[in-house]
Chains A and B, each alone.
Chain A
Amino acid sequence: MNARLLDPATGRDERGDLLVDGYMIADVGARVFPDGVPSTIETIDCRGFCLAPGLIDIRVFTGEPGAEHKETLATASEAAAAGGVTTIVVMPETDPVIDDVALVEFIARRAREAAKVNVYPTAAITKGLKGEGMTEIGLLKLAGAVAITDGSFAVASAQVMRRTLSYASSFDMLVMQNAIEPTLALGGHLNEGEVATRLGLAGIPTEAETIMVERDIRLVELTGARYHVVSISTAAAIDAIRRAKARGLPVTCAAAPYHFALNENAVGNYRTFAKTSPPLRTEEDRLAVVEGLREGTIDIIASSHNPQDQDSKRLPFAQADAGVIGLETLLPVSLELFHNEGMPLLDVLRKLTIAPASLLGLRAGALKPGLPADLVIFDPHQPWIVDAEKFLSKSKNTAFEDRAVKGRAAVTVVAGAIVHRNGL
């Protein structure tokens, strides 16, 4: 009760209440309780805070199975809940790689046992992420994989990609690609720009992304498959997506918060916590990502949460693993688009809720009676300072340490149950 109801799916932005019955949303609106709230039901007084569908993060790496010291499904779900994220889609880049029906079922089972939030597995495109043999896409879909992706790897071979798209289209399986042309990016560790020149590190040119996106768009045109760029970072690639959409192709893309909140200067003096894949780009590219989000070319914001421990990060830049955690900063850093870039709040939330839900066909992402009660209550203006030591994620590799941000989940609800409460 007393909430500012925000539902990007319907455009609802009004003061009102939301009634949960069991695990479902029962009613929502300004006049849910015309005669006052009955005393028999448990209530949360939102005191005017925003109440929105729980966030859906469609790109989350965990260390389970194989690197549980970095993150487990349980700790990732704790971090998600604290960040207002009620659904995570986990990447198949584990040890072993999720490229088999039994492993998809393993993830689903482990998630049921251990996770506080909804967890959906993806499966690999190629066996062992090796870029060669195709996985059993049909069977993986039946087992519950919501999309296929080779994680942080790109499918390099045009032939393999063509066949994958062609075959996946018959199952209406979404193909997600980290679009980096690997031979052009070979040996590179950060954006090929002035920072790389100064630091004496080999760079990854923006063209590595553009070439891959443009190639894949041609293959989408050939095959008709649904294709999604998991983390877009360059102005030219965003432009390519824009043109593909204008031609009516089933192409979508997501951006990670660090690509609209940071640029290559964050690498500074070899900060490995600013090493990402794709790398942080120039200020011009950052502004293009903001613009892409604003005008809708970029459909989704996904954190690309990628936990790495000290042993993977406390190394010379070239030896360090790429990746930063993002579940607990997804909401506040995304809200910077609202606070600083003038994007309407509902538009920002759309990219974190109904847009990813629609892309993957999930029954979530809206404040609609009958849907599971996955909710987040937050004050978009609550100021706080990022301090990774206080995060619930097992790894502490945030790129936003000490950043002053606004907006934090006060209450997170998954299927009608409170999984996180801090304030209210």
Chain B
Amino acid sequence: MNAPTSVPFARRHLLRIEGLSAAEINGLLDLADSYVELNRQVEKKQSVLRGRTQINLFFESSTRTRTSFELAGKRLGADVINMSVEGSSIKKGETMIDTAMTLNAMHPDVLVVRHHDSGAVELLSQKVDSAVINAGDGSHEHPTQALLDALTIRRRRGKLAGLTVAICGDVLHSRVARSNIHLLTTMGIEVRVIAPPTLLPRFIDRLGVGVFYDMKKGLQGCDAIMMLRLQTERMHGAFVPSIREYFRFYGLDKEKLASAKPDALIMHPGPMNRGVEIDTVLADDIDRSVIREQVEMGVAVRMACLQALLVPAPNRAAKVERLRTVLFGP
């Protein structure tokens, strides 16, 4: 099938969802949608990024996101290099900026960066010449995760506007939550956050979401439920007294799920902690859980993002060509 060759995305980097327009988001989702089918074919290789170099620079460990970006780049024909902190010069005391400058000197076309500090990817993007995709920075944003979540919902429901989505759990430490809040509210979805107050940022309501401490109340009428992982590695001290207490009040089980719409989707960005935020039975419920589908959408969304940033829109390509002709002759 023929994928659209370009989308209206005139940005150098993809650092955050906040600030993207509904048109830009729809453009990326449409392009991603076209790649879903392609990814199900036996022959998956495309050539739109042939000759381009993509470096995945991960300062924080990751399995699914890194693999997903690697596959996305390779399927579009790019040369993909993976760099992780383990075994790199970061361990020898090199600063993030120096690492970025070093890689920059090798002329990559796109850097896909994950970092454990909020804002670090943005800082890095200011120091390099290539496009930069934020693959998750601290507790700030994880744009491609929000896009793949939106694609999953849109394909299941046929639309986004007018739906109600609940985001449950450790919102405080979650970059997935922030990106999703910005994306879903931009697309006209009613967003609710459900968590104990200790796991919610103090001014989360200013982002335009409804705040619920009671999961059953919060889930009423929801079309989709996004469960978040309890991020114990980002916590200073105790935010909840115990896992069993957390699961009792904020873990997704059959009883609490009954408050949502009967066909509400169960989502999780992974990695899951079974029995902490989600009951194993529900995570594996093929009728309700779209967790594996989210992973599938991830590759398509990342292909779309890479293409949107690296392949100039036709009118821009034509302009460059005209300029070249003027400067250097036909």
Q: CB within 8 Å of B: which residues of A? A: 186-187, 192-194, 196-203, 205, 269-270, 311, 314-319
Q: CA A194 – CA B204 in complex, angstroms?
A: 7
Smallest CB gap from A311: residue in B: B95
Among B119, B138, B140, B237, the most chain A Cβ lie within 10 Å of the Cβ of B119
The answer to the question of B123 belonging to the interface, with a C-beta cut-off of 8 Å to chain A, is yes
Check A317 against B117 for contact (C-beta < 8 Å).
yes
The answer to the question of B118 belonging to the interface, with a C-beta cut-off of 8 Å to chain A, is yes
- If A187-B236, A199-B140, A201-B139 touch, whether A316 touches B203 (CB-CB below 8 Å) is no
Check B123 against A197 for contact (C-beta < 8 Å).
no
- If A194-B206, A317-B117 touch, whether A200 touches B122 (CB-CB below 8 Å) is no
Q: Cβ of A311: which chain B residues have Cβ within 8 Å of it? A: 95
Binary interface profile of B, 121-141, with partner A (CB < 8 Å = 1, else 0)? 011000000000000011111
Check B115 against A203 for contact (C-beta < 8 Å).
no
Q: CA A205 – CA B120 in complex, angstroms?
A: 23
10 contacts between A and B (CB under 8 A): A197-B201, A197-B203, A198-B178, A199-B119, A200-B141, A202-B236, A205-B202, A270-B119, A315-B123, A316-B117
Smallest CB gap from A310: residue in B: B97
Minimum CB–CB distance for A11 against chain B, Å: 45
Among B95, B137, B139, B203, the most chain A Cβ lie within 10 Å of the Cβ of B203
Minimum CB–CB distance for B208 against chain A, Å: 11
Q: Cβ of A192: which chain B residues have Cβ within 8 Å of it? A: 202-203
Check A316 against B202 for contact (C-beta < 8 Å).
no
Check B204 against A197 for contact (C-beta < 8 Å).
yes
Q: CB within 8 Å of A: which residues of B? A: 18, 95-97, 115, 117-120, 122-123, 137-141, 175, 178, 201-204, 206-207, 236-237
Partner of B118, one of A186, A187, A316: A316
Q: CA A318 – CA B119 in complex, angstroms?
A: 9
Q: CA A314 – CA B122 in complex, angstroms?
A: 12
Partner of B207, one of A186, A197, A315: A197
Q: CA A194 – CA B141 in complex, angstroms?
A: 15
Q: CA A201 – CA B175 in complex, angstroms?
A: 10
Check A193 against B203 for contact (C-beta < 8 Å).
yes
Check B201 against A316 for contact (C-beta < 8 Å).
no
Check A319 against B117 for contact (C-beta < 8 Å).
yes
Q: Nearest 5 pairs between A and B by C-beta?
A: A316-B117, A270-B119, A200-B139, A200-B140, A316-B120
Q: Cβ of A186: which chain B residues have Cβ within 8 Å of it? A: 236-237
Q: CA A276 – CA B17 in complex, angstroms?
A: 28
Check A197 against B202 for contact (C-beta < 8 Å).
yes
